[in-house]
Structure 1
Amino acid sequence: MPARRVSLPALDRRRFLAASGSTALVALAGGLAGTRAVRAQTLSTGAAEMIVVSDGHLVLPMGFAYPEAPADDLAALLAENAMPADALLPDCNVTLARIGDRLVIFDVGAGANFMPTAGKLADGLAAAGIDPADVTDVVFTHAHPDHLWGLTDDFDELVFANAQYRIGRAEWDFWSAPDALSKVPADRQTFVIGAQNRFAAIEDRVIFIDDGQEVLPGIEAVATPGHTPGHLSFMIQGAEPVLIVGDAISNAVISFARPDWPSGSDQDATLGARTRLALLDRLAGDRARAIGFHFPHPGAGHVERKDGGYRYVPV
């Protein structure tokens, strides 16, 4: 799929849940930790073998996720799809691709310090029989905690010690800018600090990438901004191509049925909605498969048009 320009941010879990207006969810998040089984699943593009592993899941208060959605319409959509009314519990799907002699991982999960229900990537990799030392390339969609903070372990050592690291130039520049703290809400400033600390660990081996660039053989960067200023998705080519969506489309129900609704997790909600709508339209037209980081595990599916909106159809 050719790149189409149409072009998020994040806290430690106590501040995140408190700032989201639901401190009771601290206990909920702790209580839900470890309740989902470690899983891994594979699919193929014909040229690449894809392995999707779980990093656990998040607990997002509904007031944070969709603060501006019409209350009655949101409640009806949640009820129709048997979803909880108070919080979203999105899976975190980390995708790897074997292409020739390379083993590529897209994003690295949340690590141990973001939310107790996430940060399970080590277990997911072990379940899939993958040694982190064998990963040759780490490619980031964006620098939010649940995608970046798993970069280092408890000893501040790189988890993927033998890899090269690739990230969008615009994404790196945004989070590493001297005035980055002033560009995000106060309740997300730890996102900036966390990103800068982890960027420091890879600054001597990072490779910057841009929209439309062939990142690695058979992998093309697609600009999908709005969630964060430099958010990228990645098309893995083959007979049956797959788009690694990242968080450009974040919910397998709400983002499809009402892509126009602003998302509280998007830094630029207007641009995020415009990107989301254009991406859904293109995926539906092309019948390309997509893997969403926060879709129900393993996250791979098609997009279909339905009732003036869209719907997610799992593979």
Structure 2
Amino acid sequence: MKITRRQMLGACAAATLARPVWAGVTLEMGQVKIETLSDGHLVLPRAFMLGDAPQPEADEILLLQGVEGQSFTPPCNLTLLRDGTNTILFDAGSGPGFQPTAGKLLAALDAVGVSPGEVTHVVFTHGHPDHLWGVLDDFDEPLFAEAQYLMGADEFAYWRDPDTLAAIGPARQAFAVGARRRLDLLAERITEIKDGQEILPGVTAQATYGHTPGHMSYVLHQGSDSVMVLGDAVANAHLAFLRPGWHWGSDQDPDQAAQARVALLDQIVQDKMRLIGFHLPGPGIGRAEKAPDGYRFIAEA
């Protein structure tokens, strides 16, 4: 697998965004090019992220990594795959309606010379706002007008279920309303996919349920090379690698998410796969390796 390092800094589209609009590592597997695109970053309450993680151990680990304060500011790294025929975008970013520090995907696409009309497929990991809400333009039309859309069947059913709004809890009710509105508008254009299905050449879906009820990760493979697009199955580099069995507040089913995370990291290490994490630092591309009590994330240089 050939790796090239590029950094292209785009102008900030909003004063609230102090980070580059796009910065990425490019992976090449034969004729396949894989790169990350920045949609900006989120600002999330510390309590929401940590959930019921054991204290004071969680705070001590964070301090050792230089993480202080009452909020996290995770980056949002989308994955773009081009194979000469298909231009595949994994997730659609948050658009302008979620947080002012996010929704920068159009600038990122422009930085790598791709227009929305050139995207042939949009493949969703799950239906949370920072992954789905950017799929429509200001007129509620699909932003990627020529694309086919793919989502896990269980995830698609969950967000369109009328009972989800009442069951999801007050903190996430806006997520449910926003997801259902967008998925209802896209319903006729969405292909539902299953665990283990090769959804496109060299792209296989892998169920990693728990962060949401139908969360999917994706294995990108070409010959003996492979890369795992994690989505939010491993949602932070500070604690989720070192303590993958802990519960995080961002996961809708913490028990199921922890089981999926441990199994996924075991697989990645065993198979010596690279990984791409939506909320991992830098461009989000790297490796996992075993550590005494869990794993550690090694970013690509």
Q: TM-score, normalised by structure 2?
A: 0.92
Count of paired positions: 285
Q: Highest relative contact order (Cα 8 Å, sep 6+), 1 or 2?
A: 1
Task: Confirm or deny: 8 A CA contact 1:53 1:125 kept in the other structure.
Answer: yes
Task: Tell me the CA shift for residue 72 of structure 1.
Answer: 1.4
> Alignment partner of 2:110: what SS?
helix
Q: 1:55 aligns with which of 34, 39, 56?
A: 39
Deviations 1:116-171 (A, max 9, x none): 11111111111111111000001000000000000012221211000000000000
**Aligned equivalents of 1:297 and 1:314: distance in 2?**
8
The AA in structure 1 aligned to 2:98 is: F
**Aligned equivalents of 2:118 and 2:20: distance in 1?**
24
Q: TM-score, normalised by structure 1?
A: 0.88
Residue 215 (structure 1) aligns with: 199
> Alignment partner of 2:283: what SS?
coil
Residue 240 (structure 1) aligns with: 225
Q: 1:202 aligns with which of 183, 186, 191?
A: 186
Instruction: Indicate whether 1:152 and 2:111 are aligned.
Output: no
Q: 2:17 aligns with which of 6, 10, 34?
A: 34
Q: 2:265 aligns with which of 260, 280, 284?
A: 280
Q: 1:189 aligns with which of 136, 148, 173?
A: 173
Q: Evaluate the alpha carbon distance shift between residue 32 and residue 59 of structure 1 in structure 2; reply closer, same or farther with a 3 A threshold.
A: farther
**Aligned equivalents of 1:146 and 1:312: distance in 2?**
22
Residue 8 (structure 2) aligns with: none
Residue 259 (structure 1) aligns with: 244
CA-atom RMSD, angstroms?
A: 1.3
Residue 121 (structure 2) aligns with: 137
> Alignment partner of 1:118: what SS?
coil
The AA in structure 2 aligned to 1:49 is: K
Instruction: Indicate whether 1:65 and 2:49 are aligned.
Output: yes
Task: Tell me the CA shift for residue 183 of structure 1.
Answer: 2.0
Residue 303 (structure 1) aligns with: 288
The AA in structure 2 aligned to 1:98 is: R
Task: Confirm or deny: 8 A CA contact 2:243 2:293 kept in the other structure.
Answer: no
Deviations 1:187-245 (A, max 9, x none): 21111110111012211111010000001011000000000010000000024211110
Task: Tell me the CA shift for residue 32 of structure 1.
Answer: 7.5
Task: Confirm or deny: 8 A CA contact 1:284 1:305 kept in the other structure.
Answer: yes
Task: Confirm or deny: 8 A CA contact 2:160 2:184 kept in the other structure.
Answer: no
The AA in structure 2 aligned to 1:252 is: A
Q: Evaluate the alpha carbon distance shift between residue 73 and residue 85 of structure 1 in structure 2; reply closer, same or farther with a 3 A threshold.
A: farther
The AA in structure 2 aligned to 1:296 is: P
Q: 1:164 aligns with which of 148, 156, 166?
A: 148
> Alignment partner of 2:188: what SS?
coil
**Aligned equivalents of 2:233 and 2:184: distance in 1?**
26
Deviations 1:266-311 (A, max 9, x none): 1100111111111111111111000000001310111000112100
Question: Unaligned stretches of 5+ in structure 1?
Answer: 1-30
**Aligned equivalents of 1:215 and 1:121: distance in 2?**
24
Deviation above 4 Å: which 4+ runs of structure 1? none
> Alignment partner of 1:204: what SS?
helix
Task: Confirm or deny: 8 A CA contact 2:205 2:216 kept in the other structure.
Answer: yes
Task: Tell me the CA shift for residue 47 of structure 1.
Answer: 4.5
**Aligned equivalents of 1:40 and 1:201: distance in 2?**
32
Task: Tell me the CA shift for residue 75 of structure 1.
Answer: 1.3
Give the structure with the higher percent strand.
2
> Alignment partner of 1:255: what SS?
coil
Task: Confirm or deny: 8 A CA contact 2:212 2:251 kept in the other structure.
Answer: yes
Task: Confirm or deny: 8 A CA contact 1:40 1:51 kept in the other structure.
Answer: no
The AA in structure 2 aligned to 1:160 is: F
**Aligned equivalents of 2:251 and 2:29: distance in 1?**
30
Task: Confirm or deny: 8 A CA contact 2:276 2:286 kept in the other structure.
Answer: yes
**Aligned equivalents of 1:183 and 1:44: distance in 2?**
43
% identity of equivalent residues: 46
